[in-house]
Amino acid sequence: MGNQPDAEATWNAVCMADFGDSGVAFVAQPQIPPRNVSWSSSGAWVHMAKVGFEKYYLRKMRTGNGEPFYEKLALNVLGIEKLKQIKIDIPDYADG
């Protein structure tokens, strides 16, 4: 508590929107333009993917496992990071 942050949010977004029997999925890196990556797709597969993700997410929350190692690994393989390390310059007050 009271320490300086050593990371900041990347503002990457992964979204699946379900529209009944179909849906749209997109990845935006970062979420706010200008973007380095912008991918989207639509179809019935998004509906099935979202149903599967909801079941996975609810099970993950019930077991209290907020971020399993394989989830972080999968996101890193896809190049989607939640945080980026930052360097903080701390002045040296020892020289007085």
pLDDT: which is higher, 48 or 11: 48
In a domain, 66, yes or no: yes
Instruction: Please give the structure tokens belonging to residue 14.
Output: 């992964």
HSE value, Cβ hemisphere, 13 Å, CA-based, for 40: 8
Q: What percent of the chain is predicted at pLDDT more than 90?
A: 27
Residue 50 lies in a domain: yes
Query: For the whole model, what pTM was predicted?
Result: 0.64
Establish if 22 belongs to a structural domain: yes
The per-residue pLDDT for range 54-83, each reduced to its tens digit, is: 999 999 999 998 888 998 898 888 888 888
Q: Is the pLDDT of residue 38 over 90?
A: no
Q: Write down the mean pLDDT value for the chain.
A: 84
pLDDT at 82: 83
2 inside domain: no
With the CA atoms of 67, 48, 77 and 35 taken in that order, what torsion angle do they form, in degrees rounded to the nearest 10?
Answer: -100
Average the pLDDT over 28-52 and give the result.
87
Q: Which domain holds residue 63?
A: 8-81
Number of domains observed in the structure of the chain: 1
Q: Is the pLDDT of residue 84 over 90?
A: no
- Determine the number of helices (DSSP H) and then strands (DSSP E) in the chain: 2, 5
Q: In this structure, is residue 93 part of a structural domain?
A: no
pLDDT at 51: 92
Q: Give the integer Cα–Cα distance in Å for 80 and 72.
A: 9
| pLDDT (average), residues 17-41 | 86
Residue 3 located in a structural domain? no
Amino acid identity at 95: D
